[in-house]
Structure 1
Amino acid sequence: MKKLSILLIFGMLLLSLAACTHEVHESAVDNKSSKNKKAVQIHNESSKLMQESTQKSQVKKNEKKKEDGSNDQGDVKKVTHKNKKDSVTKGKQSNNSTNESASKPANTPQTNNSEVESKNASSSATSENLKQEESNKKEIEGQSVNATPQQKTVSKSSNESPQQATAPSQPVIAETKLAKQTNQILTVVASGIHAHITLWTKNGDIWGKALETNGFVGKYGIGHVHEGSMKTPYGAYSLGFAFGTSNPGTKLPFRLITPTSWWVEDSNDSKYNTWQEGDHFNKPSEHLADYPVQYEYAVVINYNTARTPWAGSGFFIHVSNGSYTAGCVSLPESQMVQLLRILEPNAYILNVTSESMIKGF
């Protein structure tokens, strides 16, 4: 009986010792499990902070790119690559932590959960970065498309010369049918015996003034003429040859006045309205040498080239004597010299009484 009691006591001691040992073991396991949980939690929080920091940095860069309008896709790719690399590194660290914890059965479920959470976080970060990259590309492409018309407009404006951008205004003479027949037109706009005389010349497609002066016309102005009317013929006429006491250097055919030079103005003469050399012609024919001032320099106006009797004859452009003419157009000597040096064959004269009449020719 005494032995039995001793055995019971000894057995109870063993059970008590075993229970204590089991409690110590469970306490150690619980401590290790708690430490592992804290380590995993710290790791997850650290990963989350790093991802948020990376995303904030990326957003700031994108905002800066949008303001500058720069196309920095290379930086987006680098950041994305870096995020992917960081995610892979973090995944490896999570795997190492999982492998260390896998040797302890009590921690296996928590380690697997940590690994899944880490992979999900990495996948989420990568997906967000890819979405951000797509958004950046669309914004950059949109900016490029929107900027293209402006760039084209600026390029076009910078290449255009002032003449191309604003075409020079043409004078009224350029709008006439006469302007299509010749490159030189002498306009004579008269009021009474006084006239405003302008030589228009065409350079390329542009008409401009080559000479401008004041002069005189017939005693009775510009109008419909006949022999002895003392009017300058109205309308447009081609110019013929030049003549005078000396040649100032004209491009027109030139005839030198001699003591026997005449312009026949007798309507009964078969030589009516022509230059002739001879000793005498009936009135009102002109002996050209008798007018050394007026006919020092002169040009024939091709009026009545059909030489119809009594229709009018002997109309010229010549040097002015300071007063009206018998039907010719006169201008100062210096301007007459300049006119003869500019005129070329196929030039025209246009005699009107107002600027508005020019359009009709």
Structure 2
Amino acid sequence: MQTGGTSGSVRKGVAAAACGVLLLSLSACGGSGGGSGSKGDGGSAGKAGGAEARTVDLKRIPDVGDRLYKQIPANSRQVVAVYGEGKDSADSTVVLYTKHDATWDRTRTWKGHNGKKGWTTDHHEGDKRSPVGVFTLSDAGGVLADPGARLPYTRSASFQAPHYWAKSHWHDFDYVIAIDYNRVKGTSPNDPTRPEGQSKGGSIWLHMDHGSGTSACVSLSESGMNYLLRTLDPDRHPVVVMGDKAELKA
């Protein structure tokens, strides 16, 4: 199990270097675009509080068409599926699937949010839409101490959301998991490096929910983030499959 001690100290320099460009990095992820909500548990579909909702013997991830399903690595045994309600909707459902032998179990479900303006297959900086696709999950971090994450975890005050944002957003980045879109794997989530260029956006994370849409990230309850941090295992090659329902099925 990866804990905050070793990885946090190794990355301290990276987190500190990124601090000076934090506002630029967070512009794709947070923002103070209103919405009052709490960071409390968003619940689950059919089960309150993200409780276990296991369905056995799924031959594949439900409602994900061949185009995206074929992009899931063959060795991946953990998939976080984000089902957006619509192309222009900020509401979504987040489901963790775990593979056992040849079948997938639906392990946990949470209510969540995505970009304020919905989804896009061609994400750009500032479009307020979350990118559709399949992305690996390699690194985590946040303001709070490592809760027992299996992914490498960087704790740093540089994750703190600016206090000129709405108060409901102040805890958004207490826990984050980097979505590997236009970033360098193996670095702190707030590393500002964007291999495909600044215009393609970046700093797309799973993070804590404030009750409304994000600037491009996916958000879910604090308990959901805590569970994912303690469950996602690099040895199981976790990925996120995300998009509005129509794009996911395509």
**Normalized against structure 1, the TM-score is what?**
0.43
Alignment of 1:153-192 (within 5 A): 168-172=57-61, 176-177=69-70, 178=72, 180-191=74-85, 192=89
> Where does structure 2 lack aligned partners over 5 or more consecutive residues?
1-55, 164-168, 184-194
SS at match of 1:341: helix
- Aligned twin of 2:134: 236
Unaligned runs of 5+ in 1: 1-166, 263-286
- Displaced runs of 4 or more, over 6 A: none
Offset from partner CA, 1:214-238 (integer Å, 9 cap, x none): 1100111111211111111111111
Residue of structure 2 in register with 1:194 after alignment:
91
Query: Aligned partners of 1:311, 1:357: CA distance in 2, in Å?
Result: 20
Equivalence for 2:12: none
The amino acid that maps onto 2:100 is N
Distance 1:198 1:169, change over 3 A: closer
- Rounded to whole Å, the distance in 2 between the matches of 1:321 and 1:225 is 22
1:13-52 maps to which residues of 2 (within 5 A)? none
Give runs of aligned pairs for residues 121-270 of structure 1, distance below 5 A.
168-172=57-61, 176-177=69-70, 178=72, 180-191=74-85, 192-223=89-120, 224-244=122-142, 245-258=144-157, 261=158
Deviation of 1:359 (Å): 5.5
Q: Percent of counterpart pairs with the same letter?
A: 28
CA change 1:196–1:307 in 2 (3 A) is same
Local SS of the residue matching 1:310: helix
Q: Which of 199, 215, 219 is equivalent to 1:330?
A: 219
More helix by share: 1
1:20: which partner in 2? Answer: none
DSSP 3-state at the match of 1:199: strand
Contact 1:257 1:288 in 2 (8 A): no
How far apart, CA to CA, are the structure 1 residues paired with 2:57 and 2:129? 37
TM-score when normalising by structure 2? 0.61
Deviation at 1:206, TM superposition (A): 1.8
Greater percentage in strand: 2
Aligned ranges 1:337-348 → 2 under 5 Å: 337-345=226-234, 346-348=237-239
Per-residue CA shift, 1:242-288, capped at 9, x if unaligned? 11122111100000012xx26xxxxxxxxxxxxxxxxxxxxxxxx65
Offset, 1:213 = 1.0
Asked if 1:304 is matched to 2:193, the reply is no
Match of 1:295 in 2: 173
Q: CA RMSD in A?
A: 2.3
Q: C-alpha distance in 2, partners of 1:325/1:248?
A: 24
